[in-house]
């Protein structure tokens, strides 16, 4: 019996019942990838041999009574920005074409220790810079709900793999919304944990003060189980928080919000938001109110400056982080004919290796950090960041969690915003404040837009190291929506993903 349309929790039960083996489950997903990924292009590299070896090891562990976690034997899609020993890691860039890291990132180590089977590496905007996965050097990923639409970015490959039933679990990274925005437009669940809650060791850096790896799945509980597996302190990451991981799994199962205060951020809805998105958001608020939550309005006026501040801080850090790609140590090298000097080779390599959007952000960041402009641009942006943190602190004094639509619109068409960077950047207007403050954020499906029948995301934000709060609210809303709709949003996808 095919299990690909089941949840990871259901797959785990089938493995525990021995009604299916990890090898059989892995083969089903590899077959699914072979059948549909030509249309979706969620994967950059499918590690067939490695995945089957991991699955065989998982079956042997289970037979010996040594099950490592509840996710033992469950397949997963890994965003191609995290190192995995011996497996190609490109970050969606020609710059790293052919590079096979000599070490595992902490996230990958934790996945292996939990017995998770890694199917392969997923497509992404180059070096995680983008909101549509159109900036990949290896071509765009297509949204399984409508192949002419974007799957979000930068982690569109991971979200699309979930929506197309190529994997039940995935890992993404979120610098300004790169987990939550793809989740919203593909009808899946994505969580950006508290900054420092999941190790960044082995995560190729875009913006070090903003980047955060996190779990992606089709249900809130599956996402919580993956969150639990990858979270925790890591001494190899200087930004890692040495504190207990919140009990996100128990929170996801609780499904009870009576007495909780849910704050609606008035600055994150209104002008520029699609009618179907706002209607779906308001219906979800009504459902939470019916479950006993109190809905209150909060104001975070500094959020109006979030986009501008983000696009100074993130490119500034990118211009510093990407300086390591110098053609001398790893990755491609262009123009080394034995006659040219190091600077010429470096220049030629970067011209070929970096794409248009990466070059744009490096130039912007270098300018913002340059002598005479540092205080006016980067310094001022950091002051705005402080104001955003203060707005969140004030809002959390009035509410247990904060909510907004995950994105202003449903998935737009591939190519529609390719030549308009500002329009592209505005896709992250609701998600960026969470990264600026370092708090937790979740997107889960809230239904389909009446405008176009495409998925809409509902964003939940919780205070730092209180990630369990968003799982509690998310689990409750998901259950209420499933009761209302009759079946989950992810199960309503069109023929491509259910054939």
What pLDDT, in 10s, does the model give residues 269-303?
888 899 999 999 999 999 999 999 999 999 999 99
Beta bridge partners of 460: 403, 442
Is pTM beyond 0.95? Reply is: yes
Residue 63 corresponds to which tokens in the numbers above?
Answer: 């037979």
Helices 306-321, 380-396: inter-axial angle, 10-degree rounding: 120
All residues at 6 or more sequence positions from 137 whose CB lies less than 8 Å from its CB, including other chains: 90, 92, 93, 94, 97, 126, 355
Q: How far apart are CA 357 and CA 59, in angstroms?
A: 44
Beta bridge partners of 108: none
As to burial, measured by CB atoms within 10 angstroms (0-12 exposed, 13-18 middle, 19+ buried), residue 195 is: buried
pLDDT for the residue numbered 164: 96
DSSP state of 454: -
Kindly tell me if the per-residue pLDDT of 499 is higher than 60: no
Kindly tell me if the per-residue pLDDT of 494 is higher than 80: no
Residue 304 corresponds to which tokens in the numbers above?
Answer: 């109006």
Torsion of CA 271, 274, 278, 280, to 10 degrees: 180
Comparing CA positions, the residue from 31, 34, 33, 16 lying closest to residue 74 is 16
> In this structure, are residues 154 and 185 in contact, taking their beta carbons and an 8 Å threshold?
no
**Tokens 């965003």, residue located:** 79
All residues at 6 or more sequence positions from 106 whose CB lies less than 8 Å from its CB, including other chains: 199, 200, 201, 202, 234, 236, 237
Q: Annotated catalytic sites, by residue?
A: 79, 154, 178
Q: How far apart are CA 268 and CA 317, in angstroms?
A: 26
pLDDT digits (tens, 9 = 90+) for 37-77: 999 999 999 999 999 999 999 999 999 999 999 999 999 99
What length is written for the chain? 499
Q: Which residue ranges form the domains of the chain, and what is each CATH number?
A: 8-302+386-497 (3.90.1300.10)
Q: How far apart are CA 314 and CA 173, in angstroms?
A: 14
Average pLDDT, the chain: 95
């Amino acid at each position: 019996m095919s299990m690909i349309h089941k949840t990871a929790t259901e797959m785990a039960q089938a493995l525990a019942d021995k009604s299916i083996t990890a090898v059989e489950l892995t083969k089903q997903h590899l077959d699914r990838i072979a059948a549909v990924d030509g249309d979706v292009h969620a994967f950059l590299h499918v590690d067939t041999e490695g995945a089957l070896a991991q699955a065989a090891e998982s079956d042997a562990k289970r037979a010996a009574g040594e099950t490592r976690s509840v996710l033992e034997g469950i397949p997963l899609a890994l965003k191609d920005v995290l190192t995995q020993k011996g497996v190609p890691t490109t970050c969606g860039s020609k710059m790293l074409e052919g590079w096979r890291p000599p070490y595992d990132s902490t996230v990958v180590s934790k996945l292996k220790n939990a017995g998770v089977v890694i199917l392969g590496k997923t497509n992404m905007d180059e070096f995680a810079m983008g909101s549509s996965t159109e900036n990949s050097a290896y071509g765009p990923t297509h949204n399984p709900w409508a192949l002419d639409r974007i799957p979000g970015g930068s982690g569109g490959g991971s979200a699309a793999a979930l929506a197309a039933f190529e994997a039940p679990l995935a890992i993404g990274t979120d610098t300004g919304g790169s987990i939550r925005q793809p989740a919203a437009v593909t009808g899946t669940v994505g969580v950006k944990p508290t900054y420092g809650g999941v190790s960044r060791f082995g995560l190729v850096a875009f913006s070090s003060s903003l980047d955060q790896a996190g779990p992606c799945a089709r249900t809130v509980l599956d996402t919580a189980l993956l969150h639990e597996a990858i979270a925790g302190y890591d001494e190899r990451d200087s930004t890692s928080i040495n504190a207990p991981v919140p009990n996100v799994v128990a929170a996801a199962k609780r499904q009870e919000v009576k007495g909780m205060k849910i704050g609606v951020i008035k600055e994150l809805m209104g002008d520029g938001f699609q009618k179907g998105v706002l209607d779906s958001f308001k219906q979800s608020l009504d459902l939470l109110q019916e479950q006993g939550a109190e809905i209150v309005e909060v104001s975070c006026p500094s959020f109006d400056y979030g986009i501008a501040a983000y696009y100074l801080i993130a490119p500034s850090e990118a211009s510093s982080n990407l300086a390591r790609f110098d053609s001398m140590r790893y990755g491609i090298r262009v123009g080394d004919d034995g006659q040219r000097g190091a600077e010429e080779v470096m220049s030629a390599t970067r011209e070929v290796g970096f794409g248009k959007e990466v070059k744009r952000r490096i130039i912007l960041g270098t300018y913002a950090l340059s002598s005479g402009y540092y205080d006016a641009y980067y310094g001022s942006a950091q002051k705005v960041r402080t104001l955003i943190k203060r707005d969140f602190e004030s809002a959390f004094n009035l509410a247990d969690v904060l909510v907004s639509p995950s994105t202003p619109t449903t998935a737009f068409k591939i190519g529609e915003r390719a030549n308009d960077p500002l329009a592209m950047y505005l896709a992250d207007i609701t998600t960026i404040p969470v990264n600026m403050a370092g708090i937790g954020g979740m997107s889960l499906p809230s239904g389909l837009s009446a405008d176009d029948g495409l998925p809409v995301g509902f964003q939940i934000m919780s205070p730092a190291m209180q990630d369990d709060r968003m799982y509690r609210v998310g689990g409750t809303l998901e259950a209420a929506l499933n009761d209302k709709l009759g079946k989950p949003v992810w199960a309503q996808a069109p023929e491509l993903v259910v054939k």
